[in-house]
Amino acid sequence: GAGVSQTPSNKVTEKGKYVELRCDPISGHTALYWYRQSLGQGPEFLIYFQGTGAADDSGLPNDRFFAVRPEGSVSTLKIQRTERGDSAVYLCASSPREGAYNEQFFGPGTRLTVL
């Protein structure tokens, strides 16, 4: 079946601009996560959705970052007033289960470059 999809695959923007990154999880997966990965590092947690609500947004670095999942499926990560330090690969993952035993499957990621 289809895996997690993310669009765009690459996004180049200028400092100060607004960007939206989209994630379409595996069909039927209720749990959705956003992570961010910098070169040479493992992914770092940003936000978790259980259904439509953001159950844990403790990883968002500041209030320029926001994410929504209005219908419990597709999610959009929004970054306002982008900064060069926001450049990274943004990964979305979904899981068929919530709780401790929740294998997470990643999408291909969106590489964001802020000039």
Partner 1 sequence: QKEVEQNSGPLSVPEGAIASLNCTYSDRGSQSFFWYRQYSGKSPELIMFIYSNGDKEDGRFTAQLNKASQYVSLLIRDSQPSDSATYLCAVNSPKDSSYKLIFGSGTRLLVRP
Contacts with partner 1 by CB under 8 A lie at 33, 35, 40-45, 48, 50, 55-56, 58-59, 89, 91, 98-109
- Kindly state the smallest distance separating residue 81's Cβ from partner 1, in Å: 26
Measured from the CB atom, the residue of 4 and 19 that comes closer to partner 1 is: 4
Measured from the CB atom, the residue of 20 and 98 that comes closer to partner 1 is: 98
56 forms beta bridges with 48
Q: Which two tokens stand for residue 96?
A: 């068929």
Measured from the CB atom, the residue of 81 and 97 that comes closer to partner 1 is: 97
- Kindly state the smallest distance separating residue 32's Cβ from partner 1, in Å: 11
- Kindly state the smallest distance separating residue 91's Cβ from partner 1, in Å: 6
| Nearby residues of 32 by Cβ (< 8 Å), 6 or more positions away | 23, 25, 48, 49, 69, 75, 92, 93, 94, 95
49 forms beta bridges with 32, 54
Measured from the CB atom, the residue of 47 and 114 that comes closer to partner 1 is: 47
* DSSP result, 62-91: STTEEEE-TTSS-EEEEE-S--GGG-EEEE
**By C-alpha distance, which of 107, 91, 93 is closest to 31?**
93
- Kindly state the smallest distance separating residue 88's Cβ from partner 1, in Å: 13
